[in-house]
Each structure stands twice: as structure tokens, then as C-alpha cells.
Amino acid sequence: MSKERLRLATCTESMAAEFLQKNGYRIIARNYRCGFGEIDIIASERRTICFVEVKARRSARFGLPEEAITDLKKRHITKTALAYLKDKKLNSQKLRFDVLSITYLDQRPQIRLIRDAFSLGGHYSY
């Protein structure tokens, strides 16, 4: 990843965390990694653990940021989330997968939060 893309990603994730906090989320972890993948932000809202994927685009020219989340990416996120819950012994905790989409229009970020963007799906045990 180029330095410019890395800087944009870091700035975008900080903006996302700030947005979530202003909207009632409590940030638990950022950039959680395990053998299955990475989750950008783990937060809680009320009594639900939210696993948040942050996607940004410099323009809407190639579609919305959330359209870049493939089924494969969703599987990696869900497996990573289950690993996190198991590791933290939160197996009975309610969970949700959210997407925070940021599109830069005229150099200004347009932020859209998609709650419950996708489900766990499949048959998983943890």
C-alpha cells in the first residue's frame, strides 16, 4: 500500500471511529487481527457488539464503497468476529455487522452508516 493510501486509510478510520462515538457507539478495539483476517473497528452499542467494516472511496465514479465488500470479505469478517468473541469469552453476546461508508464528494466526506449490513450466515460454532 502506498504512503498516500495508508495515510488516507488511517485518516478515514479515525474519522469513522469519531463518527461512531458521536452516534452512541463505544469503541472497544481498532484493527483487530487474527489468522482469519482483520476487523477495522469493534464497538458496542447498547448491549450489542458491533463489528464495523470501514470502506472509503475518493469519488462515486466506481460505485459506492460498500459495494466493494465481497462475499469472501464478509466470510473473513465473520470468522474473525467469532474468533474475537471466543478469545474474549463473549460467546453469549449479541453481535451485529455494520458498514461505515465514506465517499469524498468535492473533497468533503459523505458518511453513511449501514447497521446490520450483513448477517453471520452459514453454520459456525465457537
pLDDT single digits (tens) 52-100 = 999 988 777 788 889 989 999 999 999 999 999 999 998 888 999 999 9
In degrees and rounded to multiples of 5, residue 44 shows phi and psi of: -120, 145
Q: Does residue 54 contact residue 79 with C-beta atoms inside 8 Å?
A: no
**How many independent structural domains does the chain possess?**
1
More confident residue, 126 or 35: 35
Task: Sheet with 26-34: list strands edge to edge.
Answer: 26-34, 37-45, 48-57, 94-105, 108-118
Q: Is residue 50 part of a domain?
A: yes
User: CATH code at 36?
Assistant: 3.40.1350.10
In a domain, 126, yes or no: no
Instruction: Please give the residue range of the domain that contains residue 60.
Output: 3-118
pLDDT in tens, 14-67: 999 999 999 999 999 999 999 999 999 999 999 999 999 999 887 777 888 899
Q: Is residue 55 part of a domain?
A: yes
DSSP state letter for 90: -
- What is the rounded CA–CA span in Å between residue 104 and residue 59? 5
Contact predicate 92/74, CB 8 Å: no
Is 47 within a domain? yes
Count of alpha carbons within 13 Å of 119, Cβ hemisphere only?
Answer: 4
For residue 32, give the H/E element and its range. Answer: strand 26-34
In a domain, 59, yes or no: yes
Q: Is residue 123 part of a domain?
A: no
